[in-house]
């Protein structure tokens, strides 16, 4: 096992190495598509399960819509087509045949589709085409549906989890009788994401609204949760869109309201993706590898025996299996690694790399003294604890680690959130410190684009929790009513 590149040397290289070395994902033989390995997928499953629980708790059901979308569907919503139909995978044929020399296979030109099919980059169009059949009257509303699916966006420069041609996600698509109800839904789901990130992934995110430039193609308003990574760059962790009646009008979805009037339906959509794996890594991990919040760990505890010879191992096994059973009785998943093919030192490094929150080591001295060495992954601290009641102590330790990771990330975010009041300050802070820049902005797309062109920083969010505060735009000097968050972003 080679050591990872240090974050301070090359953050990007560290990230790429960590993803592969910790067995999370790897590049495949298909350009831009990744393989999510079992350990990485087990973490994604924990994310899925908890989100799914929260979606159902808020009244949503799952459904499944087609992978393929007829090309013409994309033309129906004007801004949507610009945002999505361009860089996408297009299915043009439905058959291959053996070449004439019999040595290879080739596309059968006789099997050309009448209308090309786009591999879904997002499903608003196919879903609203379906909702037209489901909705006649106000009694059919609201529709609160979510889909877990794969989507494809043809990205030229890809990075594992952060930007891949194919990725996994969930997309909620809801239909409502009133504008207020749809806005409330979009805001509710933003809060679901925000709370999930904080309490489950230990990621403190800012809730905000996107500027027009960064808005979802087809949305009236895009809400977002924006997190700050260790290197001072922002990562959009999730979005929730109020779509107005745009898709209802594009797909002619009307309903009879209580007064007997035909109205267009109001819509939202909201999603998070395997990108969250990137957020997880770049929020908590260190130069030794992944650091997992206990809520996300495929196993929260690993036990490693330290022994010479079979007799010692047998004695340690006895204690280890007892401890494992006690921990499992508390609902904690435990791995006991007593393989004789690897040395304890190798195992320590391996589980550190994989981010296992707590490691217990048991040696012959521990048997004599009734002790166990407990190491926590987040602080790398070790202590010797009495064997008695070890399970409850570890349970409390796991809770403390979960909290500590959140606190640490919050402190990091606070330390890297800078109030800047002039263009010089904006540029120098961005270059020297990075992070979230709280700056006044005149509200125009032109200024946002000029700032982006000059610095690569974009408006990540107009914070929902931000105070109104009069000021002048750092770039144009024009009046501004509140500070917005600028940052370079993933």
399 binds a copy of itself (CB under 8 A): no
Out of 58, 140, 154, 427, which residue is the one contacting a copy of itself (CB under 8 A)?
A: 154
37 binds a copy of itself (CB under 8 A): yes
Task: Find the length of the chain.
Answer: 490
* For a copy of itself, the closer CB: 265 or 451: 265
CA distance 215 to 197: 21
Q: Which stretch binds a copy of itself (CB under 8 A): 6-14, 99-107, 175-183, 444-452?
A: 99-107
From the CB of 90, what's the least distance to a copy of itself, in Å? 4
34 binds a copy of itself (CB under 8 A): yes
Give how many residues touch a copy of itself by CB under 8 A. Answer: 64
Following DSSP, what letter does each residue of 212-229 receive, concatenated?
GGGS-TT-SEEEEEEEE-
| Best CA proximity match to 22, nearest among 284, 202, 235, 201 | 284
259 binds a copy of itself (CB under 8 A): no
Phi, psi of 282 (to 5 degrees): -85, 0
CA distance 297 to 180: 39
* For a copy of itself, the closer CB: 49 or 428: 49
Out of 3, 6, 139, 456, which residue is the one contacting a copy of itself (CB under 8 A)?
A: 139
- Residue 446 CB coordination number (10 Å): 11
From the CB of 260, what's the least distance to a copy of itself, in Å? 15
Give CB contacts under 8 A, 24+ apart, made by 421-426.
421/471, 421/474, 422/474, 423/474, 423/475, 425/474, 426/451, 426/455, 426/457, 426/474, 426/475, 426/486
Out of 17, 21, 50, 116, which residue is the one contacting a copy of itself (CB under 8 A)?
A: 116
Sign (positive or negative) of CA dihedral 311, 314, 320, 322: negative
**Residue with tokens 């569907």, as numbered in its chain:** 73
Strand order in the sheet with 483-487: 61-62, 143-152, 166-176, 266-273, 234-244, 221-228, 206-209, 458-463, 483-487, 436-440, 417-419
Out of 5, 16, 50, 89, which residue is the one contacting a copy of itself (CB under 8 A)?
A: 89
Q: What is the DSSP letter of 60?
A: -
From the CB of 129, what's the least distance to a copy of itself, in Å? 5
CA distance 74 to 12: 35
CA distance 425 to 436: 13
419 binds a copy of itself (CB under 8 A): no
CA–CA–CA angle 262, 264, 270 (5° rounding): 150
CA distance 396 to 411: 22
Count of alpha carbons within 13 angstroms of residue 52, beta-carbon side = 12
CA distance 460 to 487: 6
| Best CA proximity match to 70, nearest among 118, 124, 9, 22 | 118
62 binds a copy of itself (CB under 8 A): yes
Out of 19, 47, 51, 145, which residue is the one contacting a copy of itself (CB under 8 A)?
A: 145
Query: What residues have CB less than 8 Å from 193, skipping those under 6 apart?
Result: 205, 225, 237, 238, 240, 270, 272
* For a copy of itself, the closer CB: 107 or 399: 107
Footprint of a copy of itself on 336-355 (CB under 8 A): 341
182 binds a copy of itself (CB under 8 A): no
x-or-dash string of contact with a copy of itself, 294-333, rule CB under 8 A = ----------------------------------------
64 binds a copy of itself (CB under 8 A): yes
From the CB of 431, what's the least distance to a copy of itself, in Å? 35
Q: Which stretch binds a copy of itself (CB under 8 A): 116-124, 324-332, 380-388, 396-404?
A: 116-124
From the CB of 152, what's the least distance to a copy of itself, in Å? 7
201 binds a copy of itself (CB under 8 A): no
x-or-dash string of contact with a copy of itself, 7-26, rule CB under 8 A = -------------------x
* For a copy of itself, the closer CB: 87 or 407: 87
From the CB of 461, what's the least distance to a copy of itself, in Å? 30
From the CB of 76, what's the least distance to a copy of itself, in Å? 11
29 binds a copy of itself (CB under 8 A): yes
* For a copy of itself, the closer CB: 94 or 454: 94
79 binds a copy of itself (CB under 8 A): no
Q: Are 374 and 382 in contact, with CB atoms under 8 Å apart?
A: yes
85 binds a copy of itself (CB under 8 A): yes
87 binds a copy of itself (CB under 8 A): yes
Q: Which stretch binds a copy of itself (CB under 8 A): 60-68, 428-436, 462-470, 482-490?
A: 60-68
From the CB of 209, what's the least distance to a copy of itself, in Å? 29
Residue numbers at the binding site for a copy of itself (CB under 8 A): 26, 28-30, 33-38, 41-42, 44-45, 61-75, 81, 85-97, 104-107, 116-119, 126, 129-130, 133, 139, 145, 149-150, 152, 154, 166, 168, 341
């Amino acid at each position: 096992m080679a050591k990872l590149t240090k974050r301070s040397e090359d953050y990007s290289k560290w990230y790429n190495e960590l993803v592969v070395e910790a067995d999370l994902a790897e590049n495949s033989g298909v350009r831009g598509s990744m393989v999510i390995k079992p350990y990485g997928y087990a973490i994604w499953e924990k994310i899925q399960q908890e989100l799914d629980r929260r979606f159902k708790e808020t009244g949503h059901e799952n459904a499944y819509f087609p992978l393929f979308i007829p090309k013409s569907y994309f033309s129906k919503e004007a801004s949507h087509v610009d945002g999505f139909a361009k860089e996408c995978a297009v299915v043009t044929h439905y058959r291959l045949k053996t070449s004439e020399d019999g040595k290879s296979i080739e596309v059968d030109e006789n099997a050309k589709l009448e209308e090309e099919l786009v591999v879904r980059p997002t499903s608003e169009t196919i879903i609203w085409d379906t909702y037209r059949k489901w909705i006649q009257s106000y009694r059919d509303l609201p529709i609160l549906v979510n889909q877990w699916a794969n989507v494809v966006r043809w990205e030229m420069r890809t990075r594992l989890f952060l930007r891949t041609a194919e990725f996994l996600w969930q997309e909620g698509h809801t239909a409502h009788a009133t504008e207020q109800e749809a806005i409330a839904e979009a805001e509710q789901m933003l809060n679901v994401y925000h709370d999930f990130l904080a309490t489950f992934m230990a990621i403190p995110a800012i809730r905000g609204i996107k500027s027009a430039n960064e808005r979802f193609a087809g949305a009236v308003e895009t809400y977002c949760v924006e997190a700050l990574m260790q290197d001072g760059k922002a990562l959009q962790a999730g979005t929730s869109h109020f779509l107005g009646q745009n898709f209802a009008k594009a797909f002619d979805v009307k309903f009879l309201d209580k007064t007997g009037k035909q109205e267009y339906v109001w819509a939202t959509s909201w999603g998070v993706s395997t990108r969250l794996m990137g957020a997880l890594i770049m929020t908590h991990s260190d130069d030794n590898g992944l650091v997992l919040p206990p809520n996300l760990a495929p196993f929260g505890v690993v036990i490693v025996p330290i022994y010479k010879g079979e007799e010692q191992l047998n004695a340690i096994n006895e204690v280890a299996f007892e401890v494992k059973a006690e921990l499992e009785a508390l609902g904690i998943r435990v791995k006991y690694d007593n393989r004789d093919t690897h040395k304890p030192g190798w195992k320590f490094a391996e589980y550190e790399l994989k981010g296992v929150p707590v490691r217990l080591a048991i040696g012959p001295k521990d048997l004599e003294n009734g002790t166990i060495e407990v190491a926590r992954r987040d602080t790398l601290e070790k202590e010797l604890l009495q064997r008695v009641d070890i399970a409850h102590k570890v349970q409390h330790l796991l809770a403390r680690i979960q909290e500590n990771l959140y606190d640490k990330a919050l402190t990091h975010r606070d330390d890297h959130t800078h109030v800047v009041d002039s263009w010089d300050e904006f540029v120098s802070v961005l270059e020297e410190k990075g992070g979230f820049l709280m700056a006044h902005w005149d509200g125009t797309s032109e200024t946002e684009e000029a700032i982006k062109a000059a610095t690569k920083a974009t408006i990540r969010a107009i914070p929902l929790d931000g105070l109104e505060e009069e000021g002048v735009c750092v770039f144009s000097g024009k009046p501004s009513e509140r500070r917005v968050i600028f940052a370079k972003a993933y």
